[in-house]
Amino acid sequence: MNKTKARRMRELLQEGIVVSPGVYDGYSARLVEKMGFQACSTTGAGVANSRLSQPDVGIMTLTENAEACSRFANTISIPMMADADTGYGNAITVYHAVQYFEQAGVVGINIEDQVWPKRCGHMRGKAVIDAHEMAKKIEAAVKARKDPDFIINARTDAIAVEGIEGAIGRAKLYLEAGADMVYPDAIASEDQIRRFCDAVAPGYVSISMGFGIRSRPTTPTLSVKHLARLGVRRVSFSRLLAGAALMGMKKALEVFTDSVKTGEAHERPDLVVGMDEITDLMGYALINQLENDFSTEEDLRARYKGERPDLVVRGGHS
């Protein structure tokens, strides 16, 4: 029997801390796998920002989110979790949201206890629903999943509203309701992380961590090894790739703008990857191989004569 991605994710959690870079498009999802990471997760803010060009304030719908996750998850072999915001309403919508995301091919979802419409976890002005209402949403999520290995990660945004003790109380309730993991968003210090992990043990704890953020993040930047010593079982770097991509695009456009002004052309391999690297990342080799295997000899001769005969090699990968 083939092992599911969800089963693999559970095994990774049992083995130790899981590093989960945040992905938001096809490039980032494929690159995380290519760079050797064993798991990834979508960043809800990144998906909303990049696909809708809108802030992360509840504008993205359930179906838009699930559709995006499906496209990413089904092009990579590593397990991917998804950010499902609040589950898009009450316990009934959570029930359906779980089924949408499970069908999309992700191995689990974060569900948060914010009031809908939610806002990005590090924004001011957050509000949370009653803890018992959130517990019912978790119960609905557990009942809705078809694969028992599908992971329900209960996120609480209560630290900003009720303090660390309030968040700990909520996390314990959420674990009792059936959550597989709890996620205290915008946790404010190393001491708070330690207290939270100790209080909910042996429950799994997920932390979102910044990386190279110039403006001061809500959560302090700690190493993966240090987080593991504190008791964290999963760490997501939600904004790493989106922030890096924006910085790269900004620098490239600055150089290009200067080139336009001066009238000089520049080759800058330090700022852009080559076309070969893009085609390799995005799976063009498979297209070449399929064309090689299933096109007629006449079509191949007509299509590639005098151009790129190296693309078409009968009986072998191109």
CB 84 within 8 A of CB 109: yes
Res 58: pLDDT: 84
* Residue 200: pLDDT over 90: yes
Report DSSP letters for 216-283, one per residue: PPSS----HHHHHHHT--EEEETTHHHHHHHHHHHHHHHHHHHHHHHT-----TTTS--HHHHHHHTT
The model's pLDDT over 5-30, given as tens digits with 9 standing for 90+, comes to 999 999 999 999 999 999 999 999 99
Q: Looking at residue 48, what DSSP letter applies?
A: I
CB 161 within 8 A of CB 126: yes
Res 305: pLDDT: 73
Task: Flag whether 298 is in a domain.
Answer: no
- Spatial distance between the Cα atoms of 187 and 121, rounded to a whole number of angstroms: 10
Res 24: pLDDT: 96
- Cβ-Cβ contacts under 8 Å for 191 (sequence gap 6 or more): none
Res 89: pLDDT: 92
User: What is the extent of the structural domain holding 53?
Assistant: 5-244
| Stretch among 90-99, 223-232, 242-251, 264-273 having the lowest mean pLDDT | 264-273
* Residue 84: pLDDT over 50: yes
- Higher pLDDT: 126 or 249? It is 249
Distance of CA 5 to the CA centre of its chain: 15
* Residue 119: pLDDT over 80: no
Task: Flag whether 160 is in a domain.
Answer: yes
Give percent of the chain above pLDDT 70: 92
Task: Flag whether 262 is in a domain.
Answer: no
Task: Flag whether 316 is in a domain.
Answer: no
- Cβ-Cβ contacts under 8 Å for 32 (sequence gap 6 or more): 21, 23, 40, 76, 78, 241
Give the three-class secondary structure for 114: strand
Please state the domain count of the chain.
Answer: 1
Q: How confident is the model at residue 218 (pLDDT cuts 50, 70, 90)?
A: confident
The mean pLDDT value of the chain amounts to 90
Mean pLDDT, residues 179-192 taken together: 95
Query: Quick one: tokens of 269?
Result: 């391999």
Minimal CA–CA distance to 232: which of 260, 203, 268?
Answer: 203
- Cβ-Cβ contacts under 8 Å for 161 (sequence gap 6 or more): 126, 127, 128
The model's pLDDT over 241-298, given as tens digits with 9 standing for 90+, comes to 999 999 999 999 999 998 888 888 878 889 999 999 999 999 988 888 888 888 888 8
Q: Looking at residue 309, what DSSP letter applies?
A: G
Res 121: pLDDT: 57
- Higher pLDDT: 40 or 3? It is 40
Mean pLDDT, residues 129-149 taken together: 97
Q: How confident is the model at residue 123 (pLDDT cuts 50, 70, 90)?
A: low
* Overall size of the chain counted in residues: 318
- Spatial distance between the Cα atoms of 95 and 203, rounded to a whole number of angstroms: 23
Q: How confident is the model at residue 212 (pLDDT cuts 50, 70, 90)?
A: low
Res 303: pLDDT: 81
Which residues partner with 81 through β-bridges? 41, 108
Task: Flag whether 293 is in a domain.
Answer: no
Task: Flag whether 43 is in a domain.
Answer: yes
CB 135 within 8 A of CB 177: yes
DSSP strands (E only) in the chain: 18-23, 40-42, 80-83, 108-112, 151-156, 181-184, 204-208, 234-237
Res 34: pLDDT: 97
CB 184 within 8 A of CB 171: yes
Q: Looking at residue 181, what DSSP letter applies?
A: E
Query: Quick one: tokens of 118?
Result: 């939610």
- Domain CATH number, residue 76: 3.20.20.60
- Spatial distance between the Cα atoms of 195 and 200, rounded to a whole number of angstroms: 9
Q: How confident is the model at residue 301 (pLDDT cuts 50, 70, 90)?
A: confident
Res 75: pLDDT: 96
Q: Is 293 exposed, middle or buried (0-12, 13-18, 19+ CB in 10 A)?
A: exposed
Q: How confident is the model at residue 317 (pLDDT cuts 50, 70, 90)?
A: very low
Highest mean pLDDT among 45-49, 59-63, 139-143, 296-300: 139-143
Task: Flag whether 58 is in a domain.
Answer: yes
CB 146 within 8 A of CB 161: no
Res 122: pLDDT: 63
Task: Flag whether 132 is in a domain.
Answer: yes
Q: What is the pTM of this model?
A: 0.89
